[in-house]
Amino acid sequence: MTFSSLPQDHQRRSAGRRADALMDEDVARSEFTTGDGEQFDREERAALRRVAGLSTELQDITEVEYRQLRLERVVLVGVWTSGTVRDAENSLAELAALAETAGALVLDGVIQRRDKPDPATYIGSGKAKELRDLVLESGADTVVCDGELSPGQLIHLEDVVKVKVVDRTALILDIFAQHAKSREGKAQVSLAQMQYMLPRLRGWGQSLSRQMGGGGSSSGGGGMATRGPGETKIETDRRRIREKMAKMRREIADMKHGRELKRQERHRNQVPSVAIAGYTNAGKSSLLNQLTGAGVLVENALFATLDPTVRRATTPSGRVYTLADTVGFVRHLPHHLVEAFRSTMEEVGDADLILHVVDGAHPAPEEQLAAVREVVRDVGAHDVPEIVVVNKADAADELTLQRLLRAEKRAIAVSARTGLGIPELLAWIDSELPRPAVELEVLVPYTQGALVSRVHAEGEVLSEEHTGEGTLLKAQVHQELAALLEPYVPAARG
Ligand SMILES: Nc1nc2c(ncn2[C@@H]2O[C@H](COP(=O)(O)OP(=O)(O)OP(=O)(O)O)[C@@H](O)[C@H]2O)c(=O)[nH]1
Ligand SMILES: [Mg+2]
């Protein structure tokens, strides 16, 4: 990613770029909207509002030409049904970031105020024609809609704007497909893509049948032609896809079994686990790197991480725990994907502690917190203790930080970039990890040094003394370690 994808960057840029008369008019109009519950201004309803500053087109002509060779040129369109104009613009800015992450060049973005999306064409039919003009004027080859469209809406809107129309769901699926690395991650994404594709086959099938009809089918006999060849073709395609999906589900179930075993292993060793969850681009991977020194990919792009990474880490007091990085959340995460990515969510549900990372420099961090919590609740992780880690404190404004820390009882401000607040966070993690259950006193001979190290790493050492016979330890350890130490309990040796 060579250009910035952060929504707030768009906003910053948009603030300084409102010279254009049309935009000025829009800005002026937006002052009439004061938010929820108010009757929509008539003019507002009629207008296709241009969201300023969304274009990521570069001024440098050589770079533009280079990018035009390989990137799709897109225009974004959203239907704004509730909330303030800022909410609507944020949503479209996020869509722009998603489109860029998918490798597209965003030329323009518009939103329409409506009670609900038009059942036929998503935006109103009149607006769809205006959108067609915008597409022509900007030279776009794709329209991206900020929602999940029905198969019919996609087809009808495509008929009007005469370029490819994709929705938010398809876009996110595409990003996931580009980024998934592990075999399981890849399988899950293609399963989700097939699920999304299945009800939308009709459209492709229809145009296919038209083509075939034109070419003249070779079936000859009129008797069996009660069904068009196209329809038969769709049915075969559907069946093939269903079979493939079933096969894929079985494969995923097998892979899941392997992961399950690994997790049980970790459980048996009673290594406490901490899961990092949070909205996409909040800085989860950066935090993992800060806490463990791991070299996990950090990118100013949405969904840089699509496979759960688990690292071993040590608290300041020397206790070992595992830290899992997870896939980021996004609003309106396609339903099939929530299902498909349950695997990484399961890490979250199973953890002893959740570090919920939120980007303190984002314009709407509270919304991100809420969106993540909704999914966390969905996977049954509601009783796992949570620490809210307000990240990017170096870039966030002080008021926002104060507001978040006041609202969230268990929160801490950090910067994964500068290291600010990290020692405090580590100390907090240390105090939150479950305490080992068995307290014992042992005299471990010096030949068993490895065992002493394990007590340090996995248990809690209360006192340690080096005697002539070995290390005299008073410690709290988990069951398994207690069993290994059993022979060295002085009383047992008589
Ligand atoms: N200013 C600032 N930027 C940060 C900080 N932490 C992370 N970033 C930046 O935020 C962007 C996203 O960081 P990642 O760690 O990849 O975020 P993530 O939550 O893992 O993102 P996904 O895996 O894409 O969901 C990168 O450009 C980071 O450099 C911070 O403390 N301060
Ligand atoms: Mg990441």
What CATH number should be reported for the domain holding residue 106? 3.40.50.11060
Banded model confidence at residue 302, pLDDT cuts 50, 70, 90: low
**Ligand 1 in reach of 121 Cβ (< 6 A):** no
Examine the pLDDT at 44 and tell me if it is beyond 70: no
Spatial contact of 348 and 354, defined as CB atoms under 8 Å apart = yes
- Last residue of some domain: 139, 156, 177? 177
Predicted local confidence at residue 3, as pLDDT:
30
Count of CB atoms situated within 10 Å of the CB of 316: 10
Between 441 and 210, the more confident residue is: 441
Q: What's the 64 CA to ligand 1 centre distance in angstroms?
A: 27
Between 335 and 121, the more confident residue is: 121
Q: How many angstroms separate the CA atoms of 485 and 370, rounded?
A: 46
- Last residue of some domain: 407, 432, 457? 432
Cα of first residue to Cα of last residue in the chain, in angstroms, is: 68
Examine the pLDDT at 347 and tell me if it is beyond 90: no
Q: Report H helices in 269-293.
A: 284-292
Q: What's the 444 CA to ligand 2 centre distance in angstroms?
A: 43
Mean pLDDT estimate for the chain: 76
Question: Does the model's ipTM exceed the 0.95 cut?
Answer: yes
Same domain as 426, residue 451: no
Same domain as 413, residue 443: no
Least confident of 14-23, 115-124, 429-438, 450-459: 14-23
- Last residue of some domain: 432, 448, 466? 432
Count of CB atoms situated within 10 Å of the CB of 70: 8
Examine the pLDDT at 339 and tell me if it is beyond 70: no
User: 70: which 2 tokens?
Assistant: 């390989």
User: 326: which 2 tokens?
Assistant: 């997870």
**Would 40 be classed as within a structural domain?**
no
User: 56: which 2 tokens?
Assistant: 């990521």
Spatial contact of 345 and 326, defined as CB atoms under 8 Å apart = yes
What stretch of H or E contains 337? Answer: helix 335-340
Predicted local confidence at residue 320, as pLDDT:
82
Predicted local confidence at residue 72, as pLDDT:
82
Same domain as 402, residue 461: no
- Determine the atom of ligand 1 nearest the C-alpha atom of 415: 31
**Would 132 be classed as within a structural domain?**
yes
Between 347 and 407, the more confident residue is: 407
Q: Whose CA is nearest to atom 7 of ligand 1?
A: 283
For tokens 């005697």, the residue is 467
Between 169 and 14, the more confident residue is: 169
Q: What's the 392 CA to ligand 2 centre distance in angstroms?
A: 14
- Determine the atom of ligand 1 nearest the C-alpha atom of 303: 24
Same domain as 475, residue 346: no
User: 108: which 2 tokens?
Assistant: 């323009």
Same domain as 344, residue 477: no
Same domain as 163, residue 103: yes
Percent of the chain with pLDDT over 70: 71
**Would 373 be classed as within a structural domain?**
yes
**Would 301 be classed as within a structural domain?**
yes
Q: pLDDT per residue over 241-290, tens digit each? A: 888 889 988 988 888 787 777 777 766 667 888 999 999 899 998 999 88
What stretch of H or E contains 68? Answer: helix 61-70
Same domain as 333, residue 376: yes
What stretch of H or E contains 390? Answer: strand 386-391
Residue 346 three-state SS: helix
Strands (E), 290-336: 309-314, 320-325
What is the rounded average pLDDT of the residues 360-376? Answer: 89
Least confident of 32-41, 178-187, 239-248: 32-41
Q: Do β-strands 320-325 and 309-314 pair in parallel, antiparallel, or remain unpaired?
A: antiparallel
Q: pLDDT per residue over 206-254, tens digit each? A: 443 333 333 333 333 334 444 455 667 777 878 888 888 899 889 888 8
Banded model confidence at residue 172, pLDDT cuts 50, 70, 90: confident
CATH of the domain at 426: 3.40.50.300
**Would 408 be classed as within a structural domain?**
yes
**Would 54 be classed as within a structural domain?**
no
What is the rounded average pLDDT of the residues 447-455? Answer: 91
**The domain containing residue 352 runs over which residues?**
271-432
Nearest to 152 by CA among 194, 115, 121: 121
Residue ranges with CB less than 5 Å from ion ligand 2: 284-285, 304-305
Top-ranked range on mean pLDDT: pick from 10-19, 84-93, 211-220, 328-337: 84-93
Predicted local confidence at residue 259, as pLDDT:
74
**Ligand 1 in reach of 41 Cβ (< 6 A):** no
Top-ranked range on mean pLDDT: pick from 154-168, 169-183, 298-312, 390-404: 390-404
**Ligand 1 in reach of 326 Cβ (< 6 A):** no
Strands (E), 392-491: 411-413, 438-444, 460-466, 471-477
Same domain as 115, residue 162: yes
How many structural domains comprise the chain?
3
What stretch of H or E contains 194? Answer: helix 183-197
- pTM beyond 0.90: no
Same domain as 380, residue 336: yes
**Would 380 be classed as within a structural domain?**
yes
**Ligand 1 in reach of 304 Cβ (< 6 A):** yes
**Would 215 be classed as within a structural domain?**
no
What is the rounded average pLDDT of the residues 331-360? Answer: 77
Long-range contacts of 126-131 (CB under 8 A, 24+ apart): 127/48, 128/157, 128/160, 128/161, 129/160, 130/48, 131/48, 131/75, 131/77, 131/160, 131/161
Predicted local confidence at residue 9, as pLDDT:
40
- Determine the atom of ligand 1 nearest the C-alpha atom of 289: 15
**Ligand 1 in reach of 422 Cβ (< 6 A):** no
Same domain as 353, residue 469: no
Between 341 and 129, the more confident residue is: 129
Same domain as 458, residue 353: no
**Ligand 1 in reach of 280 Cβ (< 6 A):** yes
Examine the pLDDT at 24 and tell me if it is beyond 70: no
**Ligand 1 in reach of 284 Cβ (< 6 A):** yes
User: 294: which 2 tokens?
Assistant: 């791991």
Same domain as 379, residue 313: yes
Residue 379 three-state SS: coil
What is the rounded average pLDDT of the residues 169-191? Answer: 81
